[in-house]
Amino acid sequence: MLRTKARPLASEEIKSARIQELIEHMRETLNDAPGVGLAAPQIGLPMQLVVIEDKLEYQATLSPAELLERERKPVPFHVLVNPRIEILSPPEVLFFEGCLSLPGFMAMVPRAGNVAVEALDHDGQPVRIEASGWYARILQHEVDHLRGTLYIDRMRSQSFATLDNYNRYWKTKSQADLLREFDGDAAED
């Protein structure tokens, strides 16, 4: 299912009890994991539906400098249905990502620093989101899931690491330090 393109949901489907229950189930799954985003294909459903929430408590282990460099701020819970993403800047922001579908691993992934997303919300109402920094990264990662793309398809292959090694060697490094470390990988991509 992770490699399948998800189908759009019709507006009447979004309001159905089935989809509303699914949204609550996905929210619980996201909280239990814990994670910052979850797409329906990750739970075996080929639908263009994602839930996102980046809680303040998930950022507690990062220093103020790390939060600033990653442009990471809390993002309240929300639902995106049938999202269309517009990349507003080049995919030049490199940082480590993980995924609930590939537990225990991390890799550096180039992402755009700024994006816009048009979608429907949990009630089927249109929304437009302009995001930057870490929130833009989350949106790109989740929309990729709806297209059958995983972060490992976009990663800098030499940076692929277990979560333990990421925590031991890379977690507190600045983006500049990481770029110096993996600079040779750019020529190979």
Show which residues are catalytic: 142
Q: State the pairing for strand pair 37-39/105-111.
A: unpaired
CB neighbourhood size of 7 (10 A)? 13
- Return d(Cα 40, Cα 42) in angstroms, integer: 5
Question: How distant, in Å, are the alpha carbons of 36, 71, 133, 139 from that of 75?
Answer: 9, 12, 12, 11
Alpha helices in the chain (DSSP H): 11-14, 17-32, 64-70, 133-146, 151-154, 163-165, 175-181, 183-188
